[in-house]
A and B are shown apart, each in its own frame.
Chain A
């Protein structure tokens, strides 16, 4: 503590001892975070520029990316996974978030009875692991067990049943909807919190002006919760372009049938780790991870610098 010589005299006019305790408080978190998260991330990005050339790891510039985007064998898989991932994300935005907002809007109505029960029950799927969610739905949708067809029979829709998970045209939609079922709790909770934060005076003023019910939701509440909807959207984006577990548990690492549910996460797993006849490839794995990183970074940056800036925030 007596080591005052190093202190920068220009910024600290009074000589102060170096405050070692700040370093002690920051060091453990900084070290673990840097060593296990940031450095591997940078190393992965660096590895994406290298590949094995004649048995030696050599710098190849953007050749890995060229292979990924253009090589007839790999690029078909990549573009397929990217397209599926976009569809996966769009389904979440169109189903998960509106349903979550609708439930939150109903729950936040004043004087609603059993609101705490509904809220806790609807959040349950979000807590379950992908293994549980994946297999439960596999069993329910299985034509062997017949739960889904017999339930649909009750409402006279038995003719519409098909083994959705097993057909290439419908498998991606089915898996996306399972994921939506699991994650509806997150938009519900965040939007619910935002709706509770709207002051009563604002709603009372709206009621005095005769704005109630539906039009109150559209004209008063929705504009006020737009920032939360923005956060929910960016969380959905990051989560979806990073997803792996559910597809893996429902459809396996090959993301069948015939690659129709393959997304970037499963492609990364197969490419990096190898699967069945395919050999694991570290450099191409790093390349796919780098592409995922750039996609997520672009989404987050778009949110932070464009959407969030333009959004009006209201101070109460």
Chain B
């Protein structure tokens, strides 16, 4: 009897705890978005209120759009992220296919070598990476960032994709070989379409750290023409630190693309994690 009575009470406590933590997680984001639409005096007098017609103001966004080159930064981030993901997926899938499909000498060794980068952060090689990029004349180019992020994303991509490729049926590939398909055709036309869900998971995992990275843009491409959104927002906020309208609007603009992508991909991301892609 006592159990039947305590179950709803227990459920209520659990919901209370989860709601409390959800508020903790979302409150700062909410605060930023709400206040970016308010006038300066309202930001300070009623920080927690929603904007009303009398306190509504877009002055912060006007400052950001007229002072900062956010369209350019956004474009740079987009180019770097998309190009890196494309290269990680293509090269990663090819290597994963070779490792999971063929038996050759050094297979395990190659797999371990490529997996090293999952645990060892690429950042530790920064000193020599910068030196190399200077020597190759790639400093302050988006190419340098794309190369670094491709190398950074490959280990985990190869690891996840080769797990998935092992599950593709051998019969299908044998049938393809009997029909005279080349190994390249088997990879591009039979295997790749079958691992598309895994590719989407890898794309999301690769994207977040690239989009949010501050270290490599700061060191390899700090020039005005190659700034990414993350670095651009950081610099902009540094300059306008006392202009709260502008700071809050810049933050909101930086949150926006990530949130849009999250809404689109969240199911993919969560399915990828919960299906055990990252064991």
Interface residues of A (CB under 8 A from B): 11, 19, 21-22, 24-26, 28-30, 32-33, 35-44, 47, 99, 103, 106-107, 109, 112-114, 117-133, 135-137, 139-140, 145-147, 150, 181, 184, 189-190, 192-193, 196-197, 213, 231, 234, 238, 242, 244-245, 248-249, 265, 268-269, 272-273, 282, 285-286, 289, 292-293, 296-297, 300
Greatest chain A CB density within 10 A among B29, B184, B211 is at B29
- Comparing B56-64, B193-201, B271-279, the segment that makes contact with chain A is B271-279
Query: Which of A11, A28, A32, A190 contacts B273, CB < 8 Å?
Result: A190
Given A29-B92, A296-B120, the answer on whether A135 and B237 have CB atoms closer than 8 Å is yes
Which residues in A have their C-beta under 8 angstroms from that of B219? Answer: 273
Which residues in B have their C-beta under 8 angstroms from that of A114? Answer: 15, 18
Which residues in B have their C-beta under 8 angstroms from that of A197? Answer: 276
| Complex contact B25–A122 (CB within 8 A) | yes
Which residues in B have their C-beta under 8 angstroms from that of A106? Answer: 14, 17-18
| Complex contact A32–B91 (CB within 8 A) | yes
Chain B interface main SS type: helix
Sort chain B's interface into a size bin: 35 or more
Greatest chain A CB density within 10 A among B18, B44, B123, B273 is at B18
Given A33-B114, A132-B251, A197-B276, the answer on whether A147 and B47 have CB atoms closer than 8 Å is yes
B55 at the A/B interface (Cβ < 8 Å)? no
Given A37-B152, A193-B276, the answer on whether A131 and B120 have CB atoms closer than 8 Å is no
Given A38-B116, A128-B255, the answer on whether A136 and B97 have CB atoms closer than 8 Å is no
Nearest CB on B from A158, distance (A): 16
B125 at the A/B interface (Cβ < 8 Å)? yes
B105 at the A/B interface (Cβ < 8 Å)? yes
Query: Which of B31, B184, B212, B275 contacts A136, CB < 8 Å?
Result: B31
- Measured between alpha carbons, how far is A123 from B237 in the docked complex, in Å? 25
Nearest CB on B from A141, distance (A): 10
| Complex contact A32–B150 (CB within 8 A) | yes
Interface residues of B (CB under 8 A from A): 10-11, 14-15, 17-19, 21-22, 24-26, 28-29, 31-32, 43-44, 47-48, 87, 90-92, 94-95, 97-99, 102, 104-105, 110, 113-114, 116-117, 119-129, 131-132, 147-148, 150-152, 154-155, 158, 182-184, 187, 208, 211-215, 219, 230, 233-234, 237, 244, 247-248, 251, 254-255, 258-259, 262, 266, 270, 273-276, 278-279
| Complex contact A40–B18 (CB within 8 A) | no
Query: Which of A35, A244, A282 contacts B215, CB < 8 Å?
Result: A244
| Complex contact A127–B127 (CB within 8 A) | no
| Complex contact B258–A129 (CB within 8 A) | yes
In the complex, what residue of chain B is closest to A283 when comparing beta carbons? B127
- Measured between alpha carbons, how far is A117 from B23 in the docked complex, in Å? 12
| Complex contact B233–A131 (CB within 8 A) | yes
Known: A118-B19, A128-B29. 13 other contacts (CB 8 A): A28-B90, A32-B87, A35-B151, A37-B125, A43-B131, A107-B18, A120-B266, A123-B266, A129-B258, A132-B32, A193-B274, A213-B10, A234-B119
